[in-house]
Structure 1
Amino acid sequence: MGLSAKDALHLKEALQIAAVKCSERCLYQSAKWAAELLDALPDVPAAELGQVASSMPGSQVHPAFAPNADPLEAALEAKELNKYLLAKTFFDCKEFDRCAAVFLPESLLAGLLSAKANDTTSPRGKGKATAAPSAEQSLPAISQKSLFLALYAKVISGEKRKDEDSEMIMGPQDLGSVVNKQLLVVTRFLERWLAERKAEDCELSASQGFLEYLYGMVLVKEKNDSVALDYLMQSVHLFPWNWGCWLEIANLIARVEHLNKIAPHLPQNIMSFIFHANTAVNLYQQGQDLAASLNDLLGIFPTSSFLLTCKALLNYHMKDLLAAEQDFSNLLALHPHRLDSLDHYSNILYVLNLRPKLAFLAHLCSSIDKFRPESCVVIGNYYSLLSLHENAVQYFRRALTLDRSCLSAWTLMGHEYVELKNTHAAIESYRRAVDVNRRDYRAWYGLGQTYEVLEMHAYALWYYKKAAGLRPWDGKMWQAVGSCLQKMGRDRDGIKALKRALLADSYYDSTSSSFGSAGAVDRMAQMDPEVLLQIAIMYDRLDEEDEAKAYMELCVAQEDGGLGDSVAIHRDSSGVASDGEAEATERGGGGEGTGVTVATSKARMWLAKNAMRTEDYVTANRLATELCQDGVEVEEAKALIREARSRMELANMVDR
């Protein structure tokens, strides 16, 4: 995707305006995002710039600093400039109550709330008692920019006091039930303000979109998600460059179906394109289309730290950890002082067991800002890799003290408590992670694991299914579901789940056939021997010996990376092998193989005993001899060899 010189200049101007407008309203994260994207936009060549500039009207004032286009708003902003500057300096100095009081003193807000309390729910015009208070308590005539700043300061003040009133993280009184007491004031004020603009006889200036964003954000905190989504979508239509509003919308989308449903109702511009790609990555989607979308965006913003992070996370979710590690390494080289999303990078280094790189990353984060939540998570991961789990918990707690909505810290602290055998604390950590983000499959999976340790399999199964619903192509999720069903004695359902685990990674688009057709399984050259062994054991418990034998042979065949001779007999339903299956059979597989594992040795032992039962003593002797060479179950294997040889000698004597 490329942009013409004119489009590039328009995009540059829009991002400049976005950075200024968001900064004026103290939406610092949105302003930073717009400024970073602006910095990643390549400069237009001088020759093209001259041609475009000659065709565009010139002006001494940049549009980002031009007066408001609405004359009423422009007059109000000019009139209250002194107060606005005072309020903004108070906000910048984190004196949020003083900032709000510049435009909305407590006496004014108290009067508005009392008028609301005296009002009834009857339609307008009915009831004599409501007319007088409404007339007396009209909303103050201040600009939308100043009003947003005052109300936003109220919300931030409430959040700050909420954190102060909360107990120590995971302490005995930390129930997560402390609420922001300023939300009610802001909600009632915005309800009246928005209602006035919706009136048919309204002569007020049109909304700029920021107050709809604030109202939607407040509604999200009050768990009124459906109404919040409506107002947030109104906001992005009025001002599409507020990235914070797009993030609020993304947090309300739990499924890709929901994303596709609302996509046509969003403004069709580059912001919607970025939003769609980012949300798809956060919903753990994968595929060539999403990768192509990110590459198109990187063609416009080649050095964008945000888009490079999305690309790295896409590889991370696709389990291509080496590619994700390389992406994050390149990102760190481009932006060495940027801490955003480095907690994900530390997770990748932890899984890859790259201790020197994780040590370097922890030292780097600590030297830049040791009191950022991301820094604490990185250091916590480093201590976890060293098996210093108490130290890791300490740093994850520190991250949560700085930001109670830090998802990585809640989930990782749950993992540490599992290592420390503190199941109660682990469950509480995972639950708080789910409260922060219900799309976090790691927290759901962690809850399932913890309840499985407690042998509460019904609970574990429910949580495992939630995780599998979020990651339907992840074989690990379905393996957990199948293992749990096996422990509950539901072998038939367990077999279906484990077959889906075999197919999930490569055959997500055809999962509907995975429950009853082994043809797709046959096409896979390399499978997990542990899963195959579990399927075989469940077939054995169901007294379906032929199927059990087929999967046991398939399990043993994974040592060499092939399907071996078992392909011909491995069928759950009748039918002729497809061309792909025949090709796989001719190749005999093609992977490197797992080598001897505990699972393959158990499968070989079962096959040896089965051969003894069916009087195939030659096969039993061969398999038992292989077990002796593997060094697994050696004594039992030697006993089988002796018995098989004695039976063969006896058979030879009878023949003579």
Structure 2
Amino acid sequence: MGGLSATDQLHLKEALQIAVVKCSERCLYNSAKWAAELLDALPEPPTAPIDPPSTYVHPALSPNTDPEEAALEARELNKYLLAKSLFDCKEYDRCSAIFIQDSYLSGLLSTKPEDVAPSPKGKGKATASEAPTQELLPVMSQKSLFLALYAKVISGEKKRDEDTEMVMGSQDLGSTVNKQLLVVGRFLELWFAERTGDDGEVAGSQGFLEYLYGMVLAKEKNEQAAMDYFVRSVHLFPMNWGCWLEMTNLISRVEHLNQIAGHLPQNIMSFIFHLHTSLELYQQGPNLAHQLEELLNVFPTSAFLLTCKALLAYHSKDLIGAEQDFAHLLSLHQQRLEALDHYSNILYVLELRPKLAFLAHLCNSVDRFRPETCVVVGNYYSLLSQHEKAVQYFRRALTLDRSCLSAWTLMGHEYVELKNTHAAIESYRRAVEVNRRDYRAWYGLGQTYEVLEMHAYALWYYKRAAGIRPWDGKMWMAVGSCLQKVGRNRDGIKALKRALLAESYYDSTSSSFGSVGTMDRMAHMDPEVLLQIANMYDGLDEEEEAKAYMELCIAQEDGGAGAEGGDDLGSSLAIHHDSSLAPGGSDDEGGDRAERNGGNEGTGVTVATSKARMWLAQYAMRTEDYATATRLANELCQDGVEVEEAKALIREARSRMESASLWEG
């Protein structure tokens, strides 16, 4: 993107100011707030600006440049001011009725879109000679029309929430729908049909109605059509952050993001969108970090971008760095609650109870009725092992916002702790309905079904989680273990080798995964995974492969130095390397460990390495290598693991050696 010149900064400043005003006029409060926060993060020029003349009108407050729209807005000003006041007072149906009566909307459902024809010149404006078109849709400005229809959608969302049963109650099936979507979608379908010319362009459109129609289509699960309208909207008015967020919600894969990128306008908003969506897809890497640094050069104090920086560290498994970034963000914006649920997750994993207690108290003092506050407090009680109280707060978060993803997933975790598998499965399912990209919910479903010993189901869900985060070793370890339990040892070995590759991504700066050299440079591999692979080879009666992995497991005690069979492992991993995977697609949510072993530090003696040493000692006995068997058994005695069995092994080895020497004599 590069640095912005003084002129570019001035244009960006004006564009953000216009966005704040236009979004506020249409009651798009979150988009207006986002633009205003970004605007506030723009550094002021070093010299004071010259006072404008008294007749100067700022572009954000200037009238509509379309004369027809400007005339309609002037005529409707009194009604618009009343409608916006009603919207601000949350009287959504009254707001909508100022411009469109309910009886009229009901009648639209019996009208076919083919009844509306575009004007002959493609301009899309109704004329007096087009009597059916003139009578079909009321004539009003796009600003008023958007406000009326948007109020209807919000009214439907409010009624849907009121009709919904208590969270996780006996009648809470998650099937309640917004009944206003059909009629609003119908109106907009007719509006676009009336104004679309032969070239497919909508004459005089401002972009907001495309955004609203895309939102309706997305809620109706017509995602392809919704994406088309969102793309149209950001071309016409790129500063509507809400539209970019809706697009992010429809993108579930990096390939889809790259495909969409070619159809977007090339400006700073698409740059921010790409960064935000990449983080939502759990991406990380130097390219993303470079993009973020360039944006922070333009908006150095932006709370949104500082949050992105913290999340980027989070996705890179740098939990300490992420915690520091969130702490810095909190010191700059003490009253801002957005994304603090992520901060509480990090504090939970790091077991920083005093900081989590302080965060919970702070959020509670700012606004106790925000979903983020309830999630933070729920995490605090979970860290105290008060799981019933944690569930209570997660349910409260969902009562405030049914689409709060963190609350659904974390509540599933709490129900697992409470051994309520049915409720856990339902919580995870609802999380997946909210966001199909939530690998934690897929993984949680796999774990819960594994507890129920329904391994075929567990395997399917684990594979979904691994598909979302292909470079997360924990996902592939779960897949491999599950494959072993269903008797598919060969496939399980492949999955566990992918787990080793995935973990090596964070321990090696090399990008040539799967090569022998890369494997030799691996600082650390999980002894449990190596032992599991060895046991699976043993189950397949491939003792040489099993022996190589047992030796590699023992070698992890001192950081992997001197592992026998290391080259064989590198070659074997290269064979099973999946070229469809790309580095940079994973982070560690911190589910089970806060810090990774680095450098050449070994694990020391573990249960896994002791089991591997015992297997190798028994193997040496079978192959009549009594000296090796004795050495390994002596090491087991020193480790204090399997001591009695090791002593028995030493006695047997000595006896056989003595017998052999007698025969030789």
Could you say whether these structures have the same fold, taking a TM-score greater than 0.5 normalized by the shorter chain as the test? yes
Find the counterpart in structure 2 of residue 36 from structure 1.
37
1:417 touches 1:425 (CA, 8 Å); kept in 2? yes
2:42 touches 2:300 (CA, 8 Å); kept in 1? yes
Cα deviation digits, residues 103-146 of structure 1 (max 9, x gap): 112122233334x1xx4868969xxxxx9994574211111111
- For residue 597 of structure 1, report the CA deviation from its aligned partner: 1.2
The 5 A counterparts of 1:568-647 are 570-571=568-569, 573=571, 591-647=600-656
**In 1, distance between residues paired with 2:494 and 2:511?**
11
**In 1, distance between residues paired with 2:552 and 2:522?**
11
Cα deviation digits, residues 395-423 of structure 1 (max 9, x gap): 00000000000000000011111111111
Find the counterpart in structure 1 of residue 496 from structure 2.
498
Cα deviation digits, residues 34-86 of structure 1 (max 9, x gap): 00000111011117x56xx99xx996111111111111111111111111111
The 5 A counterparts of 1:3-18 are 3-18=4-19
**In 2, distance between residues paired with 1:402 and 1:328?**
24
User: Which has the higher mean CA deviation after the structures are superposed, 527-536 or 540-549?
Assistant: 540-549
Cα deviation digits, residues 424-443 of structure 1 (max 9, x gap): 11111111000000011111
2:230 touches 2:243 (CA, 8 Å); kept in 1? yes
Find the counterpart in structure 1 of residue 595 from structure 2.
none
1:326 partnered with 2:324: yes
**Partner letter of residue 421 of structure 2?**
T
Change over 3 Å in CA distance of 1:602–1:402 after alignment to 2: same
The SS at the match of 2:564 is: helix
Change over 3 Å in CA distance of 1:574–1:332 after alignment to 2: closer
The SS at the match of 2:558 is: coil
The SS at the match of 2:341 is: helix
Find the counterpart in structure 2 of residue 583 from structure 1.
none
- For residue 567 of structure 1, report the CA deviation from its aligned partner: 4.2
1:558 touches 1:595 (CA, 8 Å); kept in 2? yes
The 5 A counterparts of 1:85-484 are 85-114=81-110, 116=111, 119=112, 134=132, 137-200=135-198, 206-484=204-482
Structure 1 residue runs of 5 or longer lacking an equivalent are 126-130, 577-588
2:551 touches 2:565 (CA, 8 Å); kept in 1? no
Cα deviation digits, residues 228-257 of structure 1 (max 9, x gap): 000010000000000000011111111111
**Partner letter of residue 94 of structure 1?**
K
2:360 touches 2:373 (CA, 8 Å); kept in 1? yes
**2:538 corresponds to which of 540, 553, 561:** 540
- For residue 563 of structure 1, report the CA deviation from its aligned partner: 3.3
2:367 touches 2:373 (CA, 8 Å); kept in 1? yes
**Partner letter of residue 594 of structure 1?**
T
Change over 3 Å in CA distance of 1:96–1:571 after alignment to 2: closer
- For residue 523 of structure 1, report the CA deviation from its aligned partner: 3.2
**Partner letter of residue 596 of structure 1?**
V
Change over 3 Å in CA distance of 1:618–1:77 after alignment to 2: same
Cα deviation digits, residues 441-497 of structure 1 (max 9, x gap): 111111111111111111111111111111011111111111111111111111111
**Partner letter of residue 93 of structure 2?**
D
**In 2, distance between residues paired with 1:510 and 1:5?**
40
**In 1, distance between residues paired with 2:32 and 2:573?**
61
RMSD: 2.6
2:196 touches 2:203 (CA, 8 Å); kept in 1? no
**Partner letter of residue 306 of structure 2?**
L
**In 2, distance between residues paired with 1:372 and 1:201?**
47
1:651 partnered with 2:652: no
Change over 3 Å in CA distance of 1:374–1:483 after alignment to 2: same
**In 1, distance between residues paired with 2:230 and 2:201?**
24
1:411 touches 1:443 (CA, 8 Å); kept in 2? yes
Find the counterpart in structure 1 of residue 582 from structure 2.
none
**In 1, distance between residues paired with 2:199 and 2:560?**
77
The SS at the match of 2:524 is: coil
- For residue 625 of structure 1, report the CA deviation from its aligned partner: 1.8
- For residue 573 of structure 1, report the CA deviation from its aligned partner: 4.9
**Partner letter of residue 598 of structure 1?**
V
Cα deviation digits, residues 359-398 of structure 1 (max 9, x gap): 1111111111111000000000011111111111110000
Change over 3 Å in CA distance of 1:546–1:325 after alignment to 2: same
- For residue 645 of structure 1, report the CA deviation from its aligned partner: 2.4
User: Which has the higher mean CA deviation after the structures are superposed, 619-628 or 304-313?
Assistant: 619-628
Cα deviation digits, residues 513-555 of structure 1 (max 9, x gap): 74xx766433312100000001100111111111111100110
- For residue 632 of structure 1, report the CA deviation from its aligned partner: 1.7
**Bigger RCO of structures 1 and 2 (CA < 8 A, at least 6 apart):** 2
2:133 touches 2:194 (CA, 8 Å); kept in 1? no
Change over 3 Å in CA distance of 1:513–1:595 after alignment to 2: closer
**In 2, distance between residues paired with 1:419 and 1:347?**
17
Change over 3 Å in CA distance of 1:248–1:645 after alignment to 2: same
Change over 3 Å in CA distance of 1:34–1:647 after alignment to 2: same
Find the counterpart in structure 2 of residue 46 from structure 1.
47
Find the counterpart in structure 1 of residue 588 from structure 2.
none
**In 1, distance between residues paired with 2:481 and 2:132?**
64
**In 2, distance between residues paired with 1:615 and 1:205?**
88
1:442 touches 1:467 (CA, 8 Å); kept in 2? yes
2:519 touches 2:570 (CA, 8 Å); kept in 1? no
Change over 3 Å in CA distance of 1:110–1:603 after alignment to 2: same
**In 1, distance between residues paired with 2:512 and 2:567?**
23
**Partner letter of residue 611 of structure 1?**
A
Change over 3 Å in CA distance of 1:181–1:133 after alignment to 2: farther
Find the counterpart in structure 2 of residue 527 from structure 1.
525
**In 1, distance between residues paired with 2:142 and 2:367?**
35
User: Which has the higher mean CA deviation after the structures are superposed, 325-334 or 621-630?
Assistant: 621-630
**In 2, distance between residues paired with 1:620 and 1:107?**
89
When normalised by structure 2's length, the TM-score is 0.90
The SS at the match of 1:266 is: coil
1:111 touches 1:137 (CA, 8 Å); kept in 2? no
When normalised by structure 1's length, the TM-score is 0.91
**Partner letter of residue 527 of structure 1?**
M
**In 1, distance between residues paired with 2:468 and 2:201?**
48
- For residue 568 of structure 1, report the CA deviation from its aligned partner: 5.5
**In 2, distance between residues paired with 1:174 and 1:133?**
48
Structure 2 residue runs of 5 or longer lacking an equivalent are 119-128, 575-597
**Partner letter of residue 323 of structure 2?**
E
1:70 touches 1:205 (CA, 8 Å); kept in 2? no
**Partner letter of residue 14 of structure 1?**
A
**2:80 corresponds to which of 79, 84, 92:** 84
Change over 3 Å in CA distance of 1:122–1:355 after alignment to 2: same
1:369 touches 1:375 (CA, 8 Å); kept in 2? yes
The SS at the match of 1:11 is: helix
**In 1, distance between residues paired with 2:573 and 2:238?**
56
1:551 touches 1:570 (CA, 8 Å); kept in 2? no
**Partner letter of residue 357 of structure 2?**
A
**In 2, distance between residues paired with 1:169 and 1:67?**
47
**Partner letter of residue 560 of structure 1?**
D
2:116 touches 2:133 (CA, 8 Å); kept in 1? no
Cα deviation digits, residues 168-212 of structure 1 (max 9, x gap): 111111111111000111011101111111045999960100000
**Partner letter of residue 409 of structure 2?**
T
